[in-house]
Amino acid sequence: MNALNPIIKKAKPLYRELQAIYLNLPDTECHCDRPGICCEYLPEMTCIEALQWFNIIHQMPARQRTSTFQRFVEFYLRNPIRSSSCSFLADGACSIYEFRTFACRAYGMWSRKFGDTRTRENREDRKTLVQRWKQFGVSLPAEMVESEIEYCDKVRCLSEKPFSDAQLMDILQNVYRLDQLLPELRQKFEEDYHSDFSFWVACLVFGQRKAVLGKYAVIKEIVQQGTDERLQAMLGKVLSFNYTIF
């Protein structure tokens, strides 16, 4: 944990640069009849974005801070069997809208071809996930594969000129350039935590090995027994997490 302190200190001046990069994205408005449905899942994010989220949580009142960490841990432990949505989703809206990730901002702006391709890829990943759990003796419900929502076509870009996939990719590359300034953490976040904020939180709370084994035990209990006693026990341990380093 202490090893993160110098990285966190190094990252803080970069948050302003990150927000400046986001300003290159055009304003949008969503016409979805199910607002917040895309927030059922956590976005894949960059290391600097994950650190910014930790910085936001650190500024919350103590009770809210603990509750937010618990929700992220719960998301990690219950996914994919049950979805608890992004911890920042409140009443169908993002409670940290100004600090949402690039993936959140760009969702619905990519071309239909790009979006449909990603949806197909995600469904194939889910099929692989189902087979992997089956190897561990846990049969996930078939609807886990089918639950991937179609790519959104309800987002409207408010700029006069259309925004292309290439332009979006250029902005994303600028976000990644900030990550290059944090080599000590970037590789670990991508390779060990799979760019998954909820997994990173769980690993900080329990350690990586216990986080993985705990998830297996939680999913197995929910699927085979229909109970969540182990889940509740693990969530209770979040109370002792030393979040003050952020």
Let me know if residue 154 belongs to a domain.
Answer: no
Let me know if residue 36 belongs to a domain.
Answer: yes
Please name the residue ranges forming H helices in 12-109.
Answer: 14-22, 47-58, 62-78, 102-106
Least-confidence region, from 3-12, 65-74, 143-152, 232-241: 143-152
Give the range of the structural domain holding residue 65, as residue numbers without chain letter.
4-107+162-245
Higher pLDDT, 126 or 244: 126
Let me know if residue 153 belongs to a domain.
Answer: no
Share of the chain above pLDDT 70, in %: 93
Bond before 35 cis per omega within 30 degrees:
no
> Residue 148 has what pLDDT?
67
Higher pLDDT, 169 or 134: 169
Q: What is the pLDDT of residues 56-83, one digit of tens each?
A: 998 899 899 999 999 999 999 998 887 6
Identify the band that residue 119 occupies on the pLDDT scale cut at 50, 70 and 90.
confident
Interatomic CA distance for residues 75 and 77, integer angstroms: 6
Let me know if residue 125 belongs to a domain.
Answer: no
Residues 199 and 211: beta-carbon distance below 8 Å: yes
Q: Where are the beta strands (DSSP E) in 34-191?
A: 89-90, 93-94, 155-157
Let me know if residue 114 belongs to a domain.
Answer: no
Let me know if residue 145 belongs to a domain.
Answer: no
Let me know if residue 128 belongs to a domain.
Answer: no
Please give the mean pLDDT across all residues of the chain. 88
Interatomic CA distance for residues 46 and 102, integer angstroms: 9
Residues 76 and 211: beta-carbon distance below 8 Å: yes
Let me know if residue 187 belongs to a domain.
Answer: yes
Average pLDDT, integer, range 102-109: 92
Q: State how many domains the chain has.
A: 1
